[in-house]
Structure 1
Amino acid sequence: MLISGASVAGPALAFFLNRDGYEVSVVERAPELRDSGYAVDFRGEAFDVLEELGVLAEMRGHDTKMRGITLLDDKGVETGRLPAEVFAGELEVPKQELTRILHRITADDVTYVFDDSISALTQHEPGVAVEFERGTARGFDLVIGADGVYSKVRQLAFGPHADALRHLGLSGAGFSAPNHLGLERSGLLQQGSGAALYLFSSGAPDRLTVSFSFATASPALDRRSRDEQENAVRAAFAGFGGEAPRLLEAMSEADDFYFSSTCQVHLDHWSCGRIALVGDAGYCAAPTSGMGTSQALIGARTLARELASADGDHLAAFTAYEQELRPYVTGNQAAGRQAATMFGGHADLANSGPGSRRPPQHAHAAPQRPAQRVL
């Protein structure tokens, strides 16, 4: 079996499949294990998955132990505080620690191929013929896409990204900067009309993680130059006071600047013949949901469990996997849409379109997390 993607869902799925007797290969387009990403958190049933993986105690040892968030208005005046649990869930760890641990527990039994990517997929009765950008073409019984929002597997087997992605009316920039405020395991959330600035310090006390999020009508800025992206951020936060002006200046000096738009993945089916999707590739709920990592882990375990119990009938396994997981995903996506509006997203975009539904009025009265924190 081939899995595309070596972040969270891919290695977790590889662990369970290997345990159940599958021979597993993982291909990852990055040249080495990714050490990017800021913090991920775990909620609910994800703790059972971590326990089954045998890493829960180790994860607890990497807890960021965030203490809380100070709320500010657009001028920088304090308006209140939020407990750490609103953003950090029940347990929060640096993402690079999670990916490192998942790779370590699978590396001896799973074949990892870095710096390569799938370029073509051809299904036939015995399996899937896979062509790679660099490696030699091979055949696999099954192929699983665990390669994120812009999944190459999904693009090749299910259709263009535009058919699956739904923009939530929110885009933003992220980077790190010196911790001139002396924040220690705490953060500031400054909100104005259609925009929000979030900054925090957790694992590295000398550094701030900075996120500027603002309303956008489309993800078009994702394809623009850095200068154009920075100018859009400055325009969105032109009226902000407090720390915003200083951080807007720091943005241009950041060597880890990134820009991304917040979106969800919506598909009628998560499988196509011998090809299936897991995690963000199939059903991203958006970082605003606060459930991406938990959903990836739970999805991986669910898929592996159904494959193990289907006695070789992959079609039955894929159907059972989707039937069990889709209600959970639907709830997470509803929460992600509502939370996006609290960080500047447009309500009409975040709650419209095929397959969407408005979340219940009681759902997530407080924002779950800044839109760009874990992209």
Structure 2
Amino acid sequence: MRILISGASVAGPVLAYWLNRHGFAVTVVERAPALRKAGGHAVDLFRPAMDIIDKMGLIKPVQAKRTGTEWITFRSENNDRLHKLEVGKLISAVSDRHVEIMRDDLGEILYEATLPDVEYLFGDSITAMEETADGIDVAFEERPARRFDLVIGADGLHSNVRRLTFGPESRFSTWIGAYLAVMSIPNYLGLRDRMDGITGVDKMVGVYGGAHMDDARAVFMFRPAAELDYHHRDVDRQKELLRRHFAGLGWEVPRLLGEELDRASTFYFDSITQLRMDTWSRGRVSLVGDAGYCPGPAVGGSTSLAVVGAYVLAGELAEAHGDHTRAFPAYEREIGDYVRRSRTFAVGAAKRLIPSTHLGLWGLIQGTRLINHAPTPITRALTGLGARGLRLHDEIALKNYPQEPVTRTDATR
């Protein structure tokens, strides 16, 4: 059975790995001309995703590339007093098994694990799909058309596969009130084991390095009064908006928005947006990760959710012997609750991370003190990180799917 995956970031390679393990023939198409090394940002893998990475035999390389962040230090606007958060204390309240890793590093590890067995088509994109009785004909920008049995969109928040199958993104996206920007900068602050930053009402800025990084990342999160008007590929407009919303903020912000922004080797800017779809499968097409159910970049645990979703989709296809009419609904049932709870958490997380009032900013500072000094069980209870909060990731029970390759003739042709 031939399956085409669009997207080679995180969800795509994880899905490709497990589909290959189950005996499917997998092709991955990626718009970028090579494996993306776009600077990236730090992402979190919580227990269920870490368990899947372990099943893939990749736990050692993933742990070897962990960022090593031990402290978060920040000051509030108009006040130079430093507040310190011990990351280990926070994580112990959140998850029993966790790694923070740069997204590019994770993507490279996953890509290398699949390269011997998976066909990758870089520098290309799907332009059209036409479903037939026995497959789906796919047209590409650069290569000749080919027929596949299934197509899976793993191509992120602005998914091309979703647009072709379900219609415009605007039908499904919900802005949850904030924006995120990340850029690569020289590590002129000498940060290795901490993030340093400043937080104000409706805005925050942080700079962090990593144990295996020569440079650093500057991250900006802010909450404007209304949704902004820009195109997601218009970088000049995005930089203009960033400068406007952080004008007047102290600390390192003037330098970051001046010379560092002008010469940044990589720059990312996007809304913190959720995708809310009643279903993410139609016919022979399905979606995985941010393409189908992004809970909100940086606030909803989307990387862990993508890893789990890819594992489950591959497993359900294996259990159904390649019958997508059974596998796709089973996949959606299996992770539906996880998706919905991640969405709910992300809305609250965005409000907590970017306080909209001075009272909220005070509460953020008090919460930092609480996490540093209270025992972990009390921290979990008082900070709302239990079953309805971020600890929801650790409560996901993974199914054990058959490890033998699919053998039915119509699933292996």
TM-score by length of 2: 0.80
Contact kept, 8 Å, 1:274 with 1:314, in 2: the verdict is yes
Distance 1:346 1:224, change over 3 A: farther
1:260 CA drift (Å): 1.7
Query: Counterpart of 1:247?
Result: 256
Query: Counterpart of 2:54?
Result: 51
1:288 CA drift (Å): 2.8
Contact kept, 8 Å, 1:64 with 1:94, in 2: the verdict is yes
1:340 CA drift (Å): 1.6
Please, which of 261, 269, 283 is the counterpart of residue 259 of structure 1? 269
Please, which of 70, 78, 81 is the counterpart of residue 81 of structure 2? 78
Partner AA of 2:67 in structure 1: T
Matches of 2:235 and 2:294, distance apart in 1: 25
1:91 CA drift (Å): 0.8
Deviations 1:274-333 (A, max 9, x none): 100011100011123351211111111101111111133211111111001010111111
Matches of 1:273 and 1:361, distance apart in 2: 45
Q: Which secondary structure state, in structure 1, belongs to the residue aligned with residue 34 of structure 2?
A: coil
Distance 1:128 1:226, change over 3 A: closer
Deviations 1:221-267 (A, max 9, x none): 34585444333222222232222222222222323233222111111
Matches of 2:150 and 2:233, distance apart in 1: 36
- Structure 1 unmatched ranges of 5 or more: 348-359, 369-375
Contact kept, 8 Å, 2:41 with 2:182, in 1: the verdict is no
Please, which of 24, 28, 31 is the counterpart of residue 30 of structure 2? 28
Matches of 1:158 and 1:184, distance apart in 2: 44
Question: Higher helix proportion, which one?
Answer: 2
1:343 CA drift (Å): 4.2
Partner AA of 1:321 in structure 2: Y
Query: Counterpart of 1:66?
Result: 69
Matches of 1:288 and 1:363, distance apart in 2: 18
Matches within 5 A, 1:5-44: 5-36=7-38, 37-44=40-47
1:94 CA drift (Å): 2.0
1:346 CA drift (Å): 7.3
Percent sequence identity over matched residues? 40
1:205 CA drift (Å): 5.9
Matches within 5 A, 1:1-375: 1-36=3-38, 37-75=40-78, 77-85=80-88, 86=90, 90-203=98-211, 207-216=215-224, 217-223=226-232, 225-249=234-258, 250-344=260-354, 363-364=384-385
CA RMSD of aligned residues (A): 2.5
Matches of 1:152 and 1:324, distance apart in 2: 25
- After the TM superposition, which of the residue ranges 222-231 and 143-152 deviates more from structure 2? 222-231
Partner AA of 1:164 in structure 2: F
Matches of 1:339 and 1:155, distance apart in 2: 28
Distance 1:342 1:239, change over 3 A: farther
TM-score by length of 1: 0.88
- Structure 2 unmatched ranges of 5 or more: 358-380, 391-413
Matches of 1:208 and 1:103, distance apart in 2: 23
Larger radius of gyration: 2
Contact kept, 8 Å, 1:167 with 1:219, in 2: the verdict is no
